[in-house]
Amino acid sequence: MAPLLELQDFHYYYGNIHTVKGINMQVNEGEMVTIIGANGAGKTTTLQTISGLTNSKGVRGKIIFDGKEIQGFHGHKVASLGLCQVLEGRHVFSKLTVEENLLTGAYLRKDTKNIKEDLKGIYKRFPRLEERRTQLGGTLSGGEQQMLAIGRALINKPKMILLDEPSLGLAPVIVKEVFKAIREINSEGVTVLFVEQNSKIALNTAHRGYVMQVGEVAMEGFCKDLLVDEEVKKAYLGG
């Protein structure tokens, strides 16, 4: 079976700066895969290019999603294929209510009759959002905004979700709650690829992982193996 997402000899250039250098990566349907690495390794650029959020002139190589080459597609086109991203820093609409924020995620859906039912499902997953459904997005805590950003992606009923630094700026107890939700989403059939600075929680959550260094994939494998690899432990897991 072909991977749901595949990068083939993928490069990205910001002008003359070669930020991602010929990486190969794949994510199978139903998997949860993580990308770890230091700041500047090219992780976020990789996710944003997959999602159609970077300048397509900088792309070399192929990005294949669900059997289609999508390199150069704009973000709305990528989302319409069932590939949605939760951006680093949440990026909720601060002057819209929680419910209005969630509904913006459904703008591509044609089955409008089912949106209300799916909204109930998101509130069931994140009860705090239901409690605050009339509250402005900008007044939520960081953890609540992360839940809102994930819920906004889910209401589009994606085949796959990309998450960029889902633990960034969150208290440890909220990080556990967010990753519990990510595991549940994956167990329900949504494929997940996420970038995460907290390498320990990333490798304890995902099935497989890629380690990026200065724009290249330095290592890949099952997370259970990466967790005990001496190089990974020394560089990313505190010894």
The mean pLDDT of 85-92, rounded to a whole number, is 91
Residue 110: pLDDT above 90? no
Strands (DSSP E) contained in the chain are: 5-14, 17-27, 32-36, 59-65, 68-69, 83-86, 160-164, 191-195, 208-213, 216-222
| pLDDT of amino acid 182 | 96
For the chain, what percent of residues have pLDDT higher than 70?
A: 100
| pLDDT of amino acid 232 | 95
Residue 44: pLDDT above 70? yes
The mean pLDDT of 211-238, rounded to a whole number, is 95
Confidence of residue 187 (pLDDT cuts 50, 70, 90): very high
How far is residue 173's CA from residue 146's CA, in Å, rounded to a whole number?
13
Cβ–Cβ < 8 Å for 26, 6: yes
Q: Residue 29 class from Cβ within 10 Å (0-12 exposed, 13-18 middle, 19+ buried)?
A: middle
The mean predicted confidence, pLDDT, of the chain is 95
| pLDDT of amino acid 113 | 85
Residues in the chain: 239
Residue 59: pLDDT above 90? yes
H/E element, 29: none
All structural domains of the chain, each given as residue ranges with its CATH number in brackets, are: 5-91+158-236 (3.40.50.300)
pLDDT tens digits for range 112-123: 889 999 999 999
Q: Under DSSP, is residue 194 helix (H, G, I), strand (E, B) or coil?
A: strand
CA 187: distance to chain centroid? 16
Confidence of residue 239 (pLDDT cuts 50, 70, 90): low
H/E element, 102: helix 98-104
The mean pLDDT of 67-73, rounded to a whole number, is 96
